[in-house]
Amino acid sequence: MSSFSQDPCFDLTGKVALVTGGSRGLGYQIVLAFADRGADVVIASRNIENCEKVAEEVRTRGRKALPCQVHAAKWDAIDGLIATSYAEFGRVDILVNNAGMSPRVPSHEVTEELFDSVVGLNFKGPFRLATQVAKRMYDSDGGVIINVSSSGALMPLPQVVPYGSAKAALNAMTRSLAAEYGPKVRVNTLSPGPFLTDISKAWPPEKREQAANALGRPGDPHEIVSAALFLASPASSFTNGALVRVDGGMQIGV
């Protein structure tokens, strides 16, 4: 736990956070960081065994944890996740829309099934989850929503066009929902660049050591934590509809 955890601006004591894709990668780091700062956490992903393992880690930190299996592109599954979360905790104060995928396929070979799957997980599902939770937050004491996007939404990348396009839609959704559900609900985008998560195991060695950004390297997963805490906590009380880049200083072109 870093020193800023003692700062009251980053105190999440008594809060309930729901994190999709929370059983591995950046979502896993966010779950543990929230728990370390006092939040109870709903950990949601398609792999319930991984969710249960992370839930045990949260409990060892003295916080409550609810592991949930969910297909984050299916609206009926999302509605079930929301119902389960509210039945367990009575509210959600922080929502992190983190689940996503980005298979690399030449655009002319993308099937309708793959297109629907990618757009469903990266935009359709997050839209449903964000809007339903935002309405509940708005009708009660407010809350915070963080949509996890990607640098792929801000720069041209070949062979992941459906993914980049869905994440660009997510960025636009953030701004619109911030306007629709403010001032009680703050909605912001967290935009990571290359990180050494599970997916990086398939990268060539040089890509794991170097990156085309100002820092010259990919990020370690724990380096997402400070930005996520900023957006989730009172430290960002005047930040709404914003896009926070955590990409090591990538040169974003159009």
According to the model, what pLDDT value does residue 77 have? 98
According to the model, what pLDDT value does residue 208 have? 64
Q: Is 213 left (phi over 0), alpha (psi -120 to 50) or beta?
A: beta
Residues in contact with 23: Cβ distance below 8 Å, sequence separation at least 6, in sequence order:
43, 45, 47, 50, 51, 53, 54
51: tokens are 């969710």
Catalytic position from the list 28, 86, 138, 163: 163
Is residue 251, in this structure, part of any structural domain at all? no
Is residue 42, in this structure, part of any structural domain at all? yes
181 catalytic per annotation: no
State phi, psi for 134 to the nearest 5 degrees: -60, -40
The CATH number that applies at residue 69 is: 3.40.50.720
Closest CA to 72 of 48, 103, 100, 47: 100
Q: How far is CA 236 from CA 9, 74, 86, 185, 226, in A?
A: 8, 31, 25, 12, 12
pTM of the model as a whole:
0.92
Is residue 224, in this structure, part of any structural domain at all? yes
In the DSSP assignment, the letter for residue 220 is P
Question: In whole angstroms, what separates CA 9 from the centre of its chain?
Answer: 20
Mean pLDDT for 40-54 is 97
Residues in contact with 251: Cβ distance below 8 Å, sequence separation at least 6, in sequence order:
212, 213, 214
Is residue 252, in this structure, part of any structural domain at all? no
Is residue 240, in this structure, part of any structural domain at all? yes
Computed over every residue of the chain, the mean pLDDT equals 92
Q: How far apart are CA 234 and CA 45, in angstroms?
A: 27
How confident is the model over 173-206, as pLDDT tens digits?
A: 999 999 999 999 999 999 998 888 666 556 567 6
Domain, as residue range, for 42? 3-246
54: tokens are 């992370």
Is residue 63, in this structure, part of any structural domain at all? yes
Is residue 242, in this structure, part of any structural domain at all? yes
How many domains, in total, are found in the chain?
A: 1
Q: What are the CB-based long-range contacts (under 8 Å, 24+) for 156-162?
A: 156/253, 156/254, 158/107, 159/104, 159/105, 159/106, 159/107, 160/102, 160/103, 160/104, 160/105, 161/107, 161/110, 162/110, 162/114, 162/115, 162/118, 162/119
Mean pLDDT for 229-252 is 93
Is residue 253, in this structure, part of any structural domain at all? no
